Structure 1
Amino acid sequence: MKDRWRGRRTGLTLVVALTWGVIAASLVSGRGQAAVVVSDDAGRVLARLSLGKDDAFSLRYRNSLYGTSAEERFVIMGDGRFRLDELVAEQVAVLEEYYAVSEGPTRAAPGSWRAPPAYTLELDRLTVAATDLGRRTLLVEGHRPLALWRLVDDAAPSVHLTVERAP
Structure 2
Amino acid sequence: MIHFVLLISRQGKVRLTKWYSPYAQKERTKVVRELSGMILSRGPKLCNFVEWRGFKVVYKRYASLYFCMCVNQDDNELEILEIIHHFVEILDRYFGSVCELDLIFNFHKAYYILDEILIAGELQESSKKAVARLIAAQDALVEAAKEQANSVSYMISQATK
TM-score above 0.5, yes or no? no
Structure with higher RCO (Cα < 8 A, 6+ apart): 1
Q: What is the TM-score of this pair, normalised by structure 2?
A: 0.28
More strand per residue: 1 or 2? 1
More helix per residue: 1 or 2? 2
Q: What is the TM-score of this pair, normalised by structure 1?
A: 0.27
Q: Which has the larger radius of gyration?
A: 1
